[in-house]
């Protein structure tokens, strides 16, 4: 019996389009392109996972809720399921890592500062954070218990759980969950509505397996 966690980044938002740093809920809405990305992602999951996805979870950010609704709707439709067969739960703790004073900025220096912090988080640098923002340990402290609870609640079941979240958070959490090489994880960009598939396999966090990472080879 295999339980897998499918961590999906939300679709394109108006902030993404303008390259504005937007980490704090509720955040921006999806663009029309983002809505289409979510529908396409539902079809991709139907092909990749078949009927394995039994439940979906999303962060408190508007963009993940809008993404989850469209992904799940498309997934259910393609597989001939009834609306609501895959329930969606808005879930605290899995929102994006807070970038503090970088929030709302769209300049090159802010983007470079974000990338420097992301690289440091992947290297397990506990001191790295944007001024007024979170460290990677603070992210893990709120995010990992959510995943642990999902694993415990579905122990012994052969199923996939969809978790619609955020790019920086997913990359950081997944890299530490499976002890992925920091540079490999940094290079393995997760585009809008792309996803990572993790298989805990009854092992502790840090020893999970990556079964898929947005088309990248992270082995």
Known binding residues for substrate are 9-16, 63
Question: End-to-end alpha-carbon separation of the chain, Å?
Answer: 23
Instruction: Please identify which of the residues 76, 96, 134, 199 carries the catalytic annotation.
Output: 96
Residue numbers in the known binding site are 9-16, 63
- Give yes or no: 96 in active site: yes
Integer angstrom CA distances of residue 143 from 18, 23, 93, 139: 27, 15, 5, 6
Q: Given the structure tokens 């709707």, which residue do they identify?
A: 73
Integer angstrom CA distances of residue 130 from 24, 90, 101, 117, 182: 14, 27, 7, 7, 19
CA atoms lying within 13 Å on the CB side of residue 77: 12
- Give yes or no: 216 in active site: no
Strands ordered across the beta sheet of 195-199: 88-90, 53-58, 159-165, 3-9, 195-199, 209-213
CA–CA separation, 205 and 177 (whole Å): 5
Beta strands in 12-106 (DSSP E): 53-58, 88-90
The residues annotated as belonging to the active site are 10, 96
């Amino acid at each position: 019996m295999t339980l897998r966690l499918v961590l999906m980044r939300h679709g394109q938002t108006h902030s993404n389009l303008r390259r504005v740093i937007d980490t704090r809920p509720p955040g921006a809405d999806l663009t029309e392109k983002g809505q289409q990305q979510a529908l396409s992602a539902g079809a991709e999951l139907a092909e990749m996972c078949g009927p394995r996805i039994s439940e979906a979870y999303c962060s408190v950010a508007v963009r993940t809720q809008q993404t989850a609704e469209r992904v799940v709707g498309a997934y259910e439709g393609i597989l001939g399921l009834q609306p609501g067969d895959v329930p969606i739960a808005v879930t605290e703790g899995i929102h994006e890592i807070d970038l503090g004073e970088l929030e709302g900025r769209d300049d090159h220096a802010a983007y470079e500062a974000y990338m420097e912090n992301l690289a440091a988080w992947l290297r397990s640098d506990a001191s790295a954070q944007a001024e007024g923002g979170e460290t990677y340990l603070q992210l893990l402290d709120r995010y990992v218990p959510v995943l642990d609870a999902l694993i415990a609640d579905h122990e012994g079941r052969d199923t996939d759980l969809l978790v619609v979240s955020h790019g920086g958070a997913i990359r950081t959490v997944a890299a530490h969950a499976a002890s992925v090489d920091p540079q490999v994880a940094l290079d393995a960009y997760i585009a809008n509505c792309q996803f990572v598939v993790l298989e805990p396999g009854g092992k502790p966090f840090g020893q999970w397996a990556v079964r898929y990472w947005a088309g990248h080879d992270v082995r």
